[in-house]
Amino acid sequence: MLAVRRIRPDEGPVLRATRLAALADAPGESTTTLARAQAHDDDHWTSSAAANASGPLQATFFAEADEAERAEPIGLVGAYANRSGVVNLVGLWSAPGYRDIGVATALIDAVAAWAVSGGHTRLRLWVVERNEYARRFYEQAGFSSTGTSMPYEPDPRISQVEMVLEL
């Protein structure tokens, strides 16, 4: 069974472990690198969990399987709102072994519901151009490319493209 829930304020260690697992599994798909994430101290993860656990400005969601099957989260997404009503979606990841069963779709649905309840009107993300699988996935989820691209900061030779979904 799949369940999605918002992070709890005391889950800094879970956030760290899940983020590092995502970055180790899919290097080059996120806005940061594994080395940079590993360099953060415990305070970083503690305050990040607390900041994302409540309120309309930023949120992190975990996807979970039955605890008997796997205690660690099987998916993760982060979101933060701009003043203009746009919610940026970052770090979407589902764990290998739990793909193509709707984990990422459920995470996006959770972000969309949270965004709407906060009065936001649009989801936005950046995806590296060569990640055709993710781009197709986002299109199926209703996102469309805006035509805007920019260099991917950890490796500026790579381009990333902007996609949006009106809520």
Ligand X SMILES: CC(C)(COP(=O)(O)OP(=O)(O)OC[C@H]1O[C@@H](n2cnc3c(N)ncnc32)[C@H](O)[C@@H]1OP(=O)(O)O)[C@@H](O)C(=O)NCCC(=O)NCCS
Nearer to ligand X, 79 or 104 (CB): 104
Q: HSE (CB half, 13 Å, CA atoms) of 98?
A: 23
The closest residue (CB) to ligand X is: 102
Residue 161 engages ligand X in binding (rule: CB under 6 A): no
Residue 26 engages ligand X in binding (rule: CB under 6 A): yes
Instruction: Name which of 51, 123, 45, 111 is nearest 82 in CA terms.
Output: 123
Residue 131 engages ligand X in binding (rule: CB under 6 A): yes
Q: d(Cα 146, Cα 164) in Å, to the nearest integer?
A: 7
Q: Which stretch binds ligand X (CB under 6 A): 4-12, 49-57, 127-135, 147-155?
A: 127-135
- Alpha-helical segments (H) within 26-93: 34-39, 42-52
Rounded least distance, CB 143 to ligand X, Å:
10
Question: Under rule CB under 6 A, how many of the chain's residues touch ligand X?
Answer: 19
Residue 84 engages ligand X in binding (rule: CB under 6 A): no
Find out whether 80 and 90 touch, Cβ atoms under 8 Å. Answer: yes
Between β-strands 58-64 and 75-81, what pairing exists: parallel, antiparallel or unpaired? Answer: antiparallel
Could you identify the residue written with the tokens 């998916």? 75
Nearer to ligand X, 28 or 50 (CB): 28
User: Which residues in this chain contact ligand X in the complex, by CB under 6 A?
Assistant: 26, 29, 92-94, 99-105, 127, 131, 133-134, 136-137, 140
